[in-house]
Structure 1
Amino acid sequence: MTRWPRPLAPGDTIAVTAPSSGVAAELRPRLDFAVGWLRERGYDVVVGDCLSGDHVRSASRDERAAELTAYLTDPAVAAVLPPWGGELAIDLVDVLDWDRLAAAEPTWLVGWSDISTLLVPLTTRLGWASLHGVNLMDTPYTPPAGLAHWLDLATAATGTRIDQTSPGRTRDGFDRWQDQPAITTMTLDRPASAAVLGGGDAEVSGTLIGGCVEVLSPLAGSPYADVPGYAADHPDGLLVYLEVAETDAYDACRKLHGLRLSGWFEHATGVLVGRTSAPDSPDLTQAEAVTDALGSLDVPVLTGLDIGHTQPYLPLVNGARATARVVDGVATVEQTLG
């Protein structure tokens, strides 16, 4: 049974902390703009101490764990929003105060990339709904027609159904926030389409769980990403979603096989794979890596969805019931919240 945070509303407090990497000085104007963007929409934004961009981590392990736990268990905080991901959030999973978190009412944790390291344990261990959406630095972007903003999901009333359809457009690379700290428009200048392994169309339904392959594969088989155990509470099956951020096709293939061998897909009704700009290997493409690792699964595998490290971004809620379709290369996702 999924435990749902209360819907976010203007006047609520959103806390900003970096459980992984902080923000370098040249990018602080973007952080300030994003905080102001939220405040203009009526939210009370508090900025924590763990934000330093001087090293790979924003602060010491204990400091980051304490600040994140404090915000997630503070009844006055309705959502926690990291500035972005990073590299080493994995060092927090075994020092968070899980007993204290379990005793608290659920709070929205919103993020993606390395923040998947924390979203998945909150859902699989505690049953909390967690929001795989953009981080603070991406929050000011206006979603293209067809896609929702993470705020649309976090503010939705219990029982709301959120429907999203891919705009069929993407881009190469990212904006330079050093030069344009106040940018809010995505430049989607390339066509994009979804597909089903083996061809044709497909529709799959289940409870969503997933995130970034690079940071979740090391957790597979640990108490912090026990997806097979989580499936026991969801007899209708899991809709597992995954995206490769930057690793080459060889490593992506190994990591996907590792998830398969750890039982991540044993109770899956389908798998959703995000579009990636990660490099191919000399004789293996990213698409071939997915086919090699997941092609033998006896469930549909939908590829090229807007859940990767490329614009635009389709927010998903771990713990939500969802239906995903690919029809004539167009992907749609319906989620029921609460």
Structure 2
Amino acid sequence: MRFPAPLKAGDRIGVTSPSSGVDADLLPRLEFAVEVVETRGYEVVVGECMDGAGHISAPAADRARELTAMLTDPDIRAVVPPWGGELAIDLLPLLDWDAIRDAEPTWVVGFSDMSTIITPLTLLTGVATIHGNNLMDTPYVTPKGLLSWLDIAALPTGSTFTQSSPGVHRSSGFDDYRDHPDAYEFTLDRDGRWIRLDGDGDVDVSGRLIGGCVEALCNLMGTRFGDTAAIPGDQLIYLEASGDDAATICRNLHGMRLAGFFDRAAAVLIGRTRAPGIASLSQYDAVVDALGCLGVPLVADVECGHVPPFLPLVNGALGRVVHNATESTVIQTLD
């Protein structure tokens, strides 16, 4: 596994939209987020593929060209999108994978539809990526126990860091960036800790981290872009549901299991979600129905999904998950 060089003051960070762009009335939030990154001492370069008038920021060829250019530019040390979207998958056959693999590794950050990009990047190139807050989420103050992707990307290779569940999350809704473009404090109004879905007992398990958004990754099964066999040894697989109902998620997880996605799983972490159940199947039930047969710990309500706050996970990092009556932590080593 290869890890990009740590970010340092003066480094350049690229912003592009591999999926959805930014509406004109949300540009003040984008500008505020860029300013927050610049206050860390970085130079921010905003690309041309940023149009938010439609469901994609630019034609697929243009988006692929811009992302490839940023990932092969030695002066750009990290790439972050404003947010996810719907159709990042159309970039996969258009990216210059050989050029990206041969280039100096660059940090790529994001979640949601960006899983369609960052997870294949790790699987196909052996370069670590960060499943963490997108640019529009970056201004939020990080709760105690968690780190921002900017903190992680500044760590040298070989570093070990620990994140712990803050025990609180946002119960509903999101900040309206049109009315509050400078929002920087999460509304964390509900208590909640991780839970084990497959039974009782403490969890202490290790492996390399890999995962992302279920609705994005399920479409990569049976292709080289979703082949977890590229990562040797035990794996800590993390997944999160964006919004699909429990029956759809259950079906997707079954398909991913049948495709071999979980063949090396030592545990599965499930992100906290507000996605609905159906009358006879909850989101928890969906996970157990599809993955209970794996015989590994299934730990749910981890802060790695669409419900704030965010616990960034590094695809490709060595991870250790500890969950018991007094502790819920993820320890990651960039090695």
CA distance in 2, matches of 1:330, 1:302: 13
1: CA distance between counterparts of 2:328 and 2:114?
A: 25
CA deviation after TM superposition for structure 1 residue 10, in Å:
1.4
Letter in structure 1 aligned against 2:39: E
Output the CA distance in 1 between the equivalents of 2:46 and 2:294: 44
Q: TM-score w.r.t. structure 2 length?
A: 0.98
Asked if residue 133 in structure 1 is aligned to residue 142 in structure 2, the reply is no
Gaps of 5+ in 1: none
| Cα drift, residue 308 of structure 1 | 1.2
How far apart are the structure 1 equivalents of 2:15 and 2:184?
20
- Partners in 1 of 2:81 and 2:275 — Cα distance? 23
1:26 equivalent in alignment to 2:29: no
Provide Cα deviations, 1:240-274, integer angstroms capped at 9, x if missing partner. Answer: 11000100000000011111111111111111111
SS in 1 for 2:166: coil
1:329 positional shift: 6.8
Cα deviation for residue 223 of structure 1 reads 1.0
- How many angstroms does 1:212 deviate by? 0.3
- Deviation, structure 1 residue 122: 0.7
Aligned residue number for residue 304 of structure 1? 301
2:222 aligned partner: 221
Q: For the residues of structure 2 that align with 1:32 and 1:307, how far apart are their CA atoms?
A: 25
Tell me if the contact between 1:194 and 1:330 (Cα under 8 Å) persists in the aligned partners: no
C-alpha distance in structure 2 between counterparts of 1:179 and 1:199, whole Å: 45
Runs of 4+ with >3 A deviation: none
Aligned letter for 1:251? T
Q: Distance in 2 between matches of 1:97 and 1:299?
A: 37
Query: Structure 1 counterpart of 2:202, which letter?
Result: D
1:34-49 pair list within 5 angstroms: 34-49=33-48
What is aligned with 1:187?
A: 187
Please give the residue correspondences for 1:57-136 in structure 2 after superposition, counting only pairs within 5 Å.
57-136=56-135
CA distance in structure 1 between the aligned counterparts of 2:223 and 2:239, rounded to whole angstroms: 18
User: Could you say which residue in structure 2 is the equivalent of 1:13?
Assistant: 12
1:324 lines up with 2:325 in the alignment: no
- 1:202-259 deviation per Cα after TM superposition (whole angstroms, max 9, x unaligned): 11110000000000000011011111x213xx22x11111000100000000011111
Unaligned runs of 5+ in 2: none
Aligned to 2:153: 154
Instruction: Summarize the alignment of residues 185-264 of structure 1 with structure 2, pairs less than 5 Å apart.
Output: 185-196=185-196, 197-227=198-228, 229-231=229-231, 234-235=232-233, 237-264=234-261
Q: What is the RMSD computed on CA atoms of the aligned residues?
A: 0.9
- For the Cα contact (< 8 Å) 2:109–2:133, is it kept in 1? yes
Does the CA-based 8 Å contact 1:8-1:78 persist in structure 2?
yes
3-state secondary structure, aligned to 1:296: helix
Q: Distance in 2 between matches of 1:116 and 1:322?
A: 19
Which among 259, 277, 292 is matched to residue 280 of structure 1? 277
Secondary structure of 2:68's partner?
helix
Partner amino acid, structure 2, of 1:180: H
Code of the residue aligned with 2:317 in structure 1: it is A
- 1:289 maps onto 2:286 in alignment: yes
Shift of 1:199: 2.2
What is the deviation of 1:135?
0.5
TM-score, structure 1 normalization: 0.97
- Checking the alignment, whether the CA contact within 8 Å between 1:13 and 1:43 is kept in structure 2 is yes
Contact 1:193 1:304 in 2 (8 A): yes
1:188 maps to amino acid: L
After TM superposition, give the deviation of residue 9 of structure 1 in Å: 1.1
In the TM superposition, residue 105 of structure 1 has moved relative to its aligned partner by: 1.1
Question: Which secondary structure does the structure 1 equivalent of 2:33 belong to?
Answer: helix
